[in-house]
Structure 1
């Protein structure tokens, strides 16, 4: 018998409604001939879809959850109270503007400094993933019934699949040698990129994901999904916060071994 997701809390239901709202804005703009693309001061791209999605999400949050705070990639921070919604309107903007379907909206709820709800919606892939602390991680593809997500049971680095995301990130962070050491320690290394690598980890398809130069809105929605699927999600130094500027997500069984390889290579 297929396992069914538990009844949704009001917060999770609201997060999923926000994802529906985002999909209805972003998907029609994907591969559109008149997509407007600008360059931000940090030299990253932003499209009219990014700003429209974030504006719509923020407006609905302010209307339906007026006592909650908000942190969005495009509009910044507006803190109120002990609860805060953290949103990346389009994670994978470079993919979006090039017509690559690996992009999605990331929606998270942080309560008292801990992320409790995460939703990742990737409409161009026909996929969505979500989790709330204590209720498991779930996903669906092309409208099929939700299925519970579980990380892999791989126990040895030499059998593991690693997504390192970007050589440039590791190099600029001063971690190029650890990346090379990890690539030699694992069975397979690829750069799947952006949110999809973490969702592949939660589905048991990848065993280790790590990257640098990431902000809370890049990671907040991902962390509860990985953790509720049975994995471990920290920064590269082992802190469970999503505010450390780096990430290391594993199936849990490989976390300590991965950290040891990274630390040993840093010391050489």
Structure 2
């Protein structure tokens, strides 16, 4: 571990992130409940990339809550930007699944990761659908509202449930080809639109695979750590590359490794052991 952060310092950041995620998550959910969807102020930033007043308000609240406690840390947010620092950096998506949030589809959440020395040390995800917080500290297991969670023990592909992500920045033909291959193997699949929540579904054993070809770091880092600490196989590029340009992520039940090896071939990645 980076010498600047001992176990107590990392734990303190995890506890702060849990508190902030729950507070901001509940306030963001309350704001959505009392808002007329037609009255939400929305700016179109591009394909599948919406900003609402709620996004900016949530990110500012998360920043204030974390940096007030740890003023020496850096902050990288989806809305406000920022760069990873030389010590530790918070990497935050204030509303992962913004389109879902806008439309009132409750599959959205808040993603908070803490990165030090090019490793994800803390991952915290607020799940709006259940009003619960998932969290993990590297090497310490994964939890949902403080109760330990584990990836599914599925070994038969006919029993597998898969969640796929897709961005218009990547090939739809490739997405269709992957869907067809999973279908031919007897697997059921979904597309839900919130990577952090999809990853914690793998962590808690509700799904057996999450894969998306191009994500930003703030979408995936927290959920990827939680899934890995829950015993899922998680494969992604190095953290420094993800912080700079994003990339793919694969998280799956360990008993289905052979079924999903072809995705690693597509991405040219190799499994990374914890």
Q: TM-score range by the shorter chain?
A: 0.7 to 0.9
Q: Tell me if the contact between 1:40 and 1:46 (Cα under 8 Å) persists in the aligned partners.
A: yes
| Structure 2 SS opposite 1:253 | helix
Mind listing any 5+ residue stretches in structure 2 that lack a counterpart? 1-7, 269-274
Q: Tell me if the contact between 1:106 and 1:221 (Cα under 8 Å) persists in the aligned partners.
A: yes
Q: Deviations over 1:121-152 (max 9, x none)?
A: 12453222111112211113xxxxx3211011
Distance 1:139 1:114 in 2: 22
Q: CA deviation at 1:102?
A: 1.1
Computed over aligned residues only, the root mean square deviation of the Cα atoms, in angstroms, reads 2.7
Structure 1 equivalent of residue 137 of structure 2: 132
Q: CA deviation at 1:193?
A: 3.4
| Structure 2 SS opposite 1:70 | strand
Q: Tell me if the contact between 1:151 and 1:251 (Cα under 8 Å) persists in the aligned partners.
A: yes
Structure 2 equivalent of residue 66 of structure 1: 71
| Structure 1 SS opposite 2:254 | coil
Mind listing any 5+ residue stretches in structure 1 that lack a counterpart? 1-6, 141-145
Distance 2:169 2:185 in 1: 20
Q: Tell me if the contact between 1:169 and 1:212 (Cα under 8 Å) persists in the aligned partners.
A: no
Tell whether 2:95 aligns with 1:90.
yes
Tell whether 2:223 aligns with 1:218.
no
- Relative to structure 1, the CA distance from residue 175 to residue 126 in structure 2 (aligned partners, 3 Å threshold; closer, same or farther) is closer
- Relative to structure 1, the CA distance from residue 133 to residue 160 in structure 2 (aligned partners, 3 Å threshold; closer, same or farther) is same
Distance 1:248 1:61 in 2: 29
Q: CA deviation at 1:57?
A: 1.5
Q: CA deviation at 1:212?
A: 2.5
Q: Deviations over 1:211-247 (max 9, x none)?
A: 1231000001101110111011113xxx464815211
Distance 1:110 1:29 in 2: 30
2:50 is matched with which residue: 45, 52, 56? 45
Q: Tell me if the contact between 1:170 and 1:179 (Cα under 8 Å) persists in the aligned partners.
A: no
Report the TM-score, using the length of structure 1 for normalisation: 0.83
